[in-house]
Structure 1
Amino acid sequence: MSGAELKNFNTPDEVREFPLGRADVVNIGGGQVALLTLQPGWRWSEHVKPKVGTELCMAPHFQYVISGRIGARMADGTEFEAGPGDVNLLQPGHDGWVVGDEPAVAVDWGGAQVWGKPAE
């Protein structure tokens, strides 16, 4: 086996689609990385929660925001907003949404293996 792997989001191994959003997922290095594309008006609690069945998003996120703005609120009420060039870490137990009228695009290394999947 080679010590190198190469994947491209143009040919994802899996696509998870929701109203106003999608995750293009590649399997690499024994894990998963997702390219999240979220349209204006997207909110986790409205568009993903019904499918996964948890009160809050329980995926851990380690993200790099390419474009647009993403808002997040933790269970304890802490909020932040991330934009282009920002790297953010979100522990399980949060809501998220697109801020403004531009799609938000982010690469997520942390929670791709569980994001948008029904709770087990």
Structure 2
Amino acid sequence: MQTVEHESFGSPTEIREFPHGHAEILNVGDATIGRLVLEPGWRWSNDVKPIAGTESCLAPHFQYHVQGRLGIRMDDGEEFIAGPGDVTSLPEGHDAWVVGDEQVIVVDWFGATDWAKEPAGNVAAHA
């Protein structure tokens, strides 16, 4: 039987800091949901890659874009910009960056579990 849970990004389970931003993590039921707050100048390959230790982001994402514009480039060369109101489903293998001078806020319904988290032992973190 499912139970009622009520959580808030006002008091997240965990906050992961990195250059030019942070990830607020909520654990709700069996799910992990992240709110990514990315400042102008943020780029995955500069700011999270050193944490993840992988060449590109290996975390698949299912995201709702709340604010700002996020450039996304897949490893196969496909590139696009996502903005407020957009929903993106990204497989592993991509880079992303803030476009312009506005802070980006993205709610990530899938992919936040190990995103921007130091690898445990020899296991590479999802990026």
TM tier relative to shorter chain: over 0.9
Counterpart position of 1:25: 25
| Counterpart Cα distance in 1 of 2:75 and 2:2 | 43
Question: TM-score, with normalisation over the residues of structure 2?
Answer: 0.91
Unpaired stretches in structure 1, ≥5 consecutive residues: none
Structure 1 partner of 2:3: 3
Q: What is the rounded CA distance, in whole Å, between the counterparts of 2:73 and 2:13 in structure 1?
A: 30
CA distance in 2, matches of 1:62, 1:48: 18
CA distance in 1, matches of 2:29, 2:65: 22
Query: What is the 5 A alignment of 1:12-91?
Result: 12-91=12-91
CA apart distance, 1:2: 6.0
Where does the alignment leave 5 or more consecutive residues of structure 2 unmatched? none
Q: Secondary structure at 1:22's aligned position in 2?
A: strand
How many angstroms apart in 2 are the aligned matches of 1:116 and 1:94?
Answer: 14
- Deviation of 1:110 (Å): 1.0
Offset, 1:10: 0.5
After TM superposition, what 4+ stretches of structure 1 lie above 4 angstroms from structure 2?
A: none
- Quote how far apart the aligned CAs of 1:29 are: 2.0
Change (3 A) 1:27 1:76: same
Secondary structure in structure 1 of the residue aligned to 2:51: helix
Normalising to structure 1: TM-score of the pair? 0.96
> Aligned partners of 1:115 and 1:43: how far apart in 2?
14
> What is the RMSD computed on CA atoms of the aligned residues?
1.2
Kindly tell me the number of residue pairs found equivalent between the two proteins.
Answer: 120
Give the structure 1 partner of residue 105 of structure 2.
105
Percent identity, aligned pairs only, is 57
